Amino acid sequence: MPRPTSVTALEDLDAHGLRVSDDMTVEVALAVMASARVEHLTVCDGDDQSTALITLVRLALLRDSSSYTDRIRLRDVKDGIPVPTASVP
C-alpha cells in the first residue's frame, strides 16, 4: 500500500529519518514527530543539506522551559539556544 507524502517533511532515503527545513518552528516539528512517530528529525538548510539532528527529548525540554516561545525555529535550536537539562532528583 503506498504511503502518503508530506509537504513539510521528506523521508530521507539514506535512512536518517525525516528531513525537515531549519525554518520549521519547534511546535510544528513536535507535531510532525508525533504524527510520524519518530524520535528525531534531520534538519536541513535552504540548500537541502543536513545540518543537525534534533531529538524529541531536546525539543520537549525546550518547549517546557521558561525560555521557550512559539517563534523558536529549528535553526535557532541547532545554533545554540540553551536547552535546559533535566534535573535528576
Structure-model confidence comparison of residues 12 and 61, the more confident one: 61
Q: What is the pLDDT of residues 25-76, one digit of tens each?
A: 999 999 999 999 999 999 999 999 999 999 999 999 999 988 899 899 999 8
Pairing between β-strand 50-55 and β-strand 40-44 as defined by DSSP bridges: antiparallel
Structure-model confidence comparison of residues 8 and 55, the more confident one: 55
SS3 43: strand
| pLDDT on residue 67 | 84
